[in-house]
């Protein structure tokens, strides 16, 4: 397992073609292993670009903080 923090914003596409944002936070335990907490947001988007723009506007996301699946 890698000991680096994960990207805080994950953009995924569901089975219906809608995009969703998952906000992830990483903290490290006493052995320096990452513990990741994820929170799926209720909003649906038609494109990954729209999801990314929403995260920038609402959560203050910056370039380089996104991952996609």
Determine which helix (DSSP H) or strand (DSSP E) holds 56, and give its type and residue range: helix 48-59
Given a cut of 80, whether residue 3 has pLDDT beyond it is no
CA 11 to chain centre: 6
Determine which helix (DSSP H) or strand (DSSP E) holds 21, and give its type and residue range: strand 19-28
Q: What pTM does this model have?
A: 0.84
What pLDDT, on a 0 to 100 scale, did the predictor assign at position 2?
59
Better-scored residue on pLDDT, 17 or 3:
17
Q: What is the pLDDT of residues 15-51, one digit of tens each?
A: 999 999 999 999 999 998 889 999 999 999 999 999 9
| The token pair that represents 30 in the structure block | 């006493």
Report how far apart, in Å, the C-alpha atoms of 61 and of each of 3, 17, 25, 35 are: 22, 23, 13, 21
């Amino acid at each position: 397992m890698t000991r680096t923090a994960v990207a805080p914003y994950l953009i995924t596409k569901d089975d219906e073609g809608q995009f969703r944002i998952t906000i992830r936070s990483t903290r490290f335990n006493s052995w320096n292993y990452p513990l990741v907490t994820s929170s799926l947001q209720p909003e649906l988007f038609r494109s990954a670009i729209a999801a990314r723009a929403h995260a920038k506007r609402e959560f203050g996301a910056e370039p380089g903080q996104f991952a996609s699946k």
